Amino acid sequence: MSDENGVIYRISGPVVTAMGIRSRMYEVVRVGHEGLMGEVIELHGDKSVIQVYEDTSGIRPGEPVVRTGQTLSVQLGPGLLTQIYDGIQRPLPVLEKTMGTFIERGVDADGLDLEKVWDFEATVSAGDEVESGSVIGTVQETETIVHKVMVPPGQSGKVASIESGSFNVTQTVCTLDDGTEIQMMQKWPVRSPRPYKQKYAPDTPLVTGMRILDFLFPLAKGGAAGIPGPFGSGKTVTQQSLAKYSDAQIVVYIGCGERGNEMTEVLDEFPHLIDPNTGKPLMNRTVMIANTSNMPVAAREASVYTGITIAEYFRDMGYDVALMADSTSRWAEAMREISSRLEEMPGEEGYPAYLSSRLAEFYERAGRVETLEGEDGSVTVIGAVSPPGGDISEPVSQGTLRIVKVFWGLDAGLARQRHFPAINWLSSYSLYPQSLDQWFRDNIASDFPEIRTEISSLLQVEAELQEIVQLVGSDALPVDQQLTLEVARMIREFFLQQNGFHEVDAYSGLEQQYKMAKAILTFQDSAKKALAAGGQLEDVVNVPARTNLMRDRFESGYIDRVDGLVDEMNKQIAAAAEEK
């Protein structure tokens, strides 16, 4: 027996112990006669403990285990976009071709199509000095995205030769004068963050088109957000809306331990949906990773790393990347399952003691950076969390909330009232407004932050008034407070509610959001005046023009009509006061 080849000693679910190999931590090994892919996750004397990315039924002690010398890596290069992978970057369409409808095991597949020929256009010339991360050429990867071919980290020198032309991803496109050959494809170990020059503080919002998010709880490009919520409260719909409408240039969508049909839905929909920011199909900017709940848990554990590495790679080209992980709880559970097979000492609720540090390391890979090339790039991470029983006092929610600066808390009660998105406006928060307000003032309206404050304090006041109403009924309140309730209702129904499936209302630009918020405050002002002038609350709030103002948001071109609708509302309210 050499150090390279060993045998299986023990099999317990996805965890296999091998003897007789001298492997390294996180090295990829081939397990059993079928050569199942696994990764070394623990070393004990002469034993290597391996998590196996495929089903281990039918495998026996004594079967071979072979080292590969590689750590778990992804292939990076043109061909990532529009692709759908499993947790270890095997393209699902390729798996379908080789094994049909059901995913059998023991099949290898390259992450990139190694045959496909791309038009490479050199952007440096012989004699130029290049460094790690320098862009040496480009490829039009999809209709909207230019893929920048970079010098892999760790390499640099003077370009000896470089040529534009048609190449596949393994052909050399550039040679440095020390003989280093550069191809369009590079590999990167998924568990190590890719290098950058420095991290910046985020100062630009990730515009999502969802009013409650952008307006009240904004997320910065390069920031991290957590979306906890019980089942059926809208985590997936929210994540999918973000994948559709947010103004990231690249989207990495990870279905981590969730439903197969949800991924199918994305696959069906995205090629036909138009990106509001480019006017081209959304698929062009999207990479998907689908390791559904019934696929092997070890590959589920790896899926978030595969995803974030791909996200960092596009960041390094200077893009703003948004990554959605649905659901990080399933990732944590995969860790728990593996850990318990290793008979590790459990921490809280059976999760391994290193849960919170793994969560922190993952979210730390978000950020806005100066790339090695000196460009500005970002990875924004949005993680769904699925707390048992919807109770966020559990370890995954708590571990997440300690790190992320944005908390979008989904609420079962709101979902049950069909108030969507069911994000609780009282418990949610964002710590970014401070760093983003200048941007909002410069780009949308100079009083944007003040309007936001007014809207949120109205909602606070409403919550307090509601407590009284519960006891005495709303008719017992003074008229000005009844008006406040009416205004708050308008905020909820007209502004916060947004049907994620409505072709028009699902997306609101920031200017429209601002106008809608202003319209609500204008309503409040005119109604107050009318009441002071002796108008009846009933008449003042029920003017038809207000209903029109609210209903019209479902029609396209709304933003151009808002001002007119507001004027009409003001007129009718004033008239209502005079009639009395």
AA identity, residue 488: A
Q: Is 421 in the site for ligand ATP (CB under 6 A)?
A: yes
d(CA 384, CA 165): 43
409 binds ligand ATP (CB under 6 A): no
Instruction: Choose among another protein, Mg ion, ligand ATP, none what residue 420 binds, the Cβ cut-off being 5 to 8 Å by kind.
Output: ligand ATP
Decide the pairing of beta strands 172-176 and 157-162: antiparallel
Which residues ranging from 488 to 507 are in contact with ligand ATP (CB under 6 A)?
Answer: 499-501
Work out whether 252 is an interface residue with another protein (CB under 8 A).
no
Q: Which of residues 199-238 bind Mg ion (CB under 5 A)?
A: 235-236
In whole angstroms, the minimum distance from the beta carbon of 413 to ligand ATP comes to 13
554 binds ligand ATP (CB under 6 A): no
Span near ligand ATP by CB under 6 A; candidates 228-236, 440-448, 522-530, 539-547: 228-236
> What secondary structure does DSSP assign to 237-300, as a single string?
HHHHHHHHHS--SEEEEEEES--HHHHHHHHHHTTTSBPTTTSSBGGGGEEEEEE-TTS-HHHH
CA atoms of 456 and 520, how far apart (whole Å): 12
Residue among 4, 11, 44 at smallest CA distance from 25:
44
- Under rule CB under 6 A, residue 189 binds ligand ATP: no
Q: Using CB under 6 A, which residues numbered 241 to 280 contact ligand ATP?
A: 258
Which one of residues 122, 210, 297, 384 is an interface residue with another protein (CB under 8 A)? 297
Nearer to Mg ion, 236 or 329 (CB): 236
Among 118, 420, 425, 494, binds ligand ATP (CB under 6 A): 420
Contacted by 556, from another protein, Mg ion, ligand ATP, none: CB < 5 to 8 Å by type: none
Nearest by Cα to 516 from 502, 495, 499: 495
Q: How far is the CB of 126 from ligand ATP (least distance, A)?
A: 53
Q: In degrees, to the nearest 5, what angle opens at C-alpha 201 toward C-alphas 197 and 206?
A: 110
Q: Of 24, 58, 460, 511, which one interacts with another protein (CB under 8 A)?
A: 58
Q: Quick check: 13 binds another protein (CB under 8 A)?
A: yes
Stretch of 165-173, 203-211, 331-339, 421-429 lying at the interface with another protein (CB under 8 A): 331-339
Sole binder of another protein in the list 112, 295, 516, 517 (CB under 8 A): 295
Q: Considering the rule CB under 6 A, would residue 233 count as an interface residue with ligand ATP?
A: yes
Q: How far apart are CA 526 and CA 539, in angstroms?
A: 13
CA-nearest of 248, 366, 553 to 239 is 248
**Which of 13, 232, 276, 346 contacts ligand ATP by CB under 6 A?**
232
Phi-psi region of 473 (alpha: psi -120 to 50; beta: other; left: phi over 0): left
Report if residue 84 touches another protein, rule: CB under 8 A.
yes
CA distances for 436 relative to 205, 206, 278, 368, angstroms? 6, 10, 24, 14
Contacts of 365 (CB under 8 A, 6+ apart): 193, 308, 311, 312, 379, 381
Cα dihedral: 142, 146, 152, 153 (round 10): -120
Q: CA-CA distance, 8 to 1, in Å (whole number)?
A: 13
CA dihedral 122, 128, 130, 136 (to 10 degrees): 0
| C-alpha span between 562 and 372 (Å, rounded) | 45
Q: Report if residue 264 touches another protein, rule: CB under 8 A.
A: yes
Strand pairing category for 250-256 and 429-430: unpaired
Does 240 bind Mg ion (CB under 5 A)? Our answer is no
> From CA 569, how far away is CA 529, in angstroms rounded?
13
Amino acid code (one letter) for 444: I
Q: Is 419 in the site for another protein (CB under 8 A)?
A: no
Q: Say how far apart CA 228 and CA 396 lie, in whole Å.
A: 10
- What is the contact mask toward ligand ATP in residues 349 to 388, using x (rule: CB under 6 A)? -------------------------------------x--
Burial class, 439, CB count within 10 angstroms (exposed 0-12 / middle 13-18 / buried 19+): middle
Could you say whether residue 293 binds ligand ATP (CB under 6 A)? no
Measured from the CB atom, is 91 or 500 closer to ligand ATP?
A: 500
- Smallest gap from Cβ 236 to Mg ion, in A, equals 3
Find the binder of ligand ATP among 216, 237, 295, 566 (CB under 6 A).
237
Residues contacting ligand ATP: total by CB under 6 A:
16
* Cβ 501 to ligand ATP shortest distance, Å: 5
Query: From the list 417, 427, 457, 460, which residue makes contact with another protein (rule: CB under 8 A)?
Result: 417
Any alpha helices (H) in 342-447, and if so which ranges? 355-364, 395-401, 412-416, 433-443
Interface with another protein (CB under 8 A), residue from 3, 96, 177, 563: 96
**In contact, 517 and 455? CB cutoff 8 Å:** yes
Residues forming contacts to Mg ion in the complex (CB under 5 A) are: 235-236
Binding site for ligand ATP (CB under 6 A): 229, 231-237, 258, 386, 415, 420-421, 499-501
Residues within the interface to another protein (CB under 8 A): 9-13, 17, 55-63, 84, 92-93, 95-96, 100-105, 230-232, 255, 257, 259-261, 263-265, 267-268, 290, 292-295, 297, 330, 333, 336-337, 340, 346, 349-350, 386, 388-391, 416-418, 473, 475, 501
